[in-house]
Amino acid sequence: MAEITRRRTGEFLRELFKILMATTEGMRASEALQILASRFTLTPYEADNYDSGSRRFEKIVRFATVDCVKAGWLVKDKGIWSITDEGRAAYAELTDPESFYKRACKLYAEWKAAQPDAETSTATGISLANSVEDVENTAKAVSVTFEESEEQAWAEISQYMRAMNPYDFQDLVADLLRAMSYHVTWVSPPGKDGGLDVLAWPDALGTRLPRIKVQVKRQQQSVSVDGLRSFMALLGDDDIGLFVCTGGFTKDAETEARTQEKRRVRLIGLEKLFDLWDAHYDKLTDQARRRLPLRSIKFLAPGG
């Protein structure tokens, strides 16, 4: 039976880290794995496909990244993989691929041992070592299955939201504010809006501050600092601005919003918007839910 060595796995991991560290905001797992595969000559065993159609190479790497996540070296969020400061330090310190992977495995084992269900009973006729290994492999398989499903779900959801009619997307934001107990008094009709798309208040009469002014952009490009400043020019001293954009915001715009002293503004990208929609889904009206309908699917909780 063909096997993959720890050294070979370590080589894959270190090259993956090199790819991810070259980005400032992480990279989609599928893209990172594609680049990684192009940098190696895969053996027939590694390049072989499972019955499901997935390549063994990708499973090998994904399994190994579970150790890196529990080691604190790698973060996965909605299919985006990024390296932590601890991961960068480990990459610089452990230049030998096998040592690099062994350290990740050791840290995973330490994390596992600290969990409440750390004690594993031994089945009849099976050694403790084999039993523990089987449990760990099962836990990692569950984790990989979960993350692949999460990646696919988010890819479909984000594509759907980016393709929405701009005015439907604007209404979605207004629906979310209502579900969050704000009172929406105005939603911009089609045509020129003067830079404002939604107005909302904390109370039904509009007598309690702060007033919420919202600009909504469904676009691919990130909002620049100049675009943010144009919006902030519309805010009064007693206003809070919400800038919602599917394309996100440039670093300069994020810094500008974070360091503002006179104008209060919050930036909401696509992922944050979805997280808020999901968190308040049970408070949305049936009509609102039809704009972005969600359905939960039960998975075995990943524990490894």
> Per residue in 47-87, pLDDT tens?
998 766 678 999 999 999 999 999 999 999 989 999 999 99
Contacts of 145 (CB under 8 A, 6+ apart): 299, 302
Query: What would the mean pLDDT of 26-38 be, rounded to a whole number?
Result: 95
Sorting pLDDT into bands at 50, 70 and 90, what band is 129? very low
Question: Residue 266: helix, strand or coil by DSSP?
Answer: strand
Q: Read off the pLDDT of residues 107-126 as tens digits, 9 standing for 90 and up.
A: 999 998 888 765 544 444 44
Residue linked to tokens 């798309």: 197
- Tokens encoding 99: 């040592």
pLDDT at residue 1 tops 60: no
pLDDT of res. 124? 41
Sorting pLDDT into bands at 50, 70 and 90, what band is 202? very high
pLDDT of res. 52? 67
- Using alpha carbons, select from 140, 139, 130, 1 the residue that is nearest to residue 61: 140
> C-alpha 113: how far from its chain's center?
27
Sorting pLDDT into bands at 50, 70 and 90, what band is 190? confident
In angstroms, the CA 136 to CA 303 distance is 9
pLDDT of res. 123? 43
pLDDT of res. 193? 67
pTM of the entire predicted model: 0.79
Q: Contact 171/291 with Cβ under 8 angstroms?
A: yes
| Phi, psi angle pair for 215, to nearest 5° | -115, 135
Q: Contact 46/5 with Cβ under 8 angstroms?
A: no
pLDDT of res. 120? 47
- Using alpha carbons, select from 139, 67, 73, 132 the residue that is nearest to residue 105: 67
Q: Contact 233/256 with Cβ under 8 angstroms?
A: no
Average pLDDT, the chain: 89
In angstroms, the CA 211 to CA 201 distance is 5
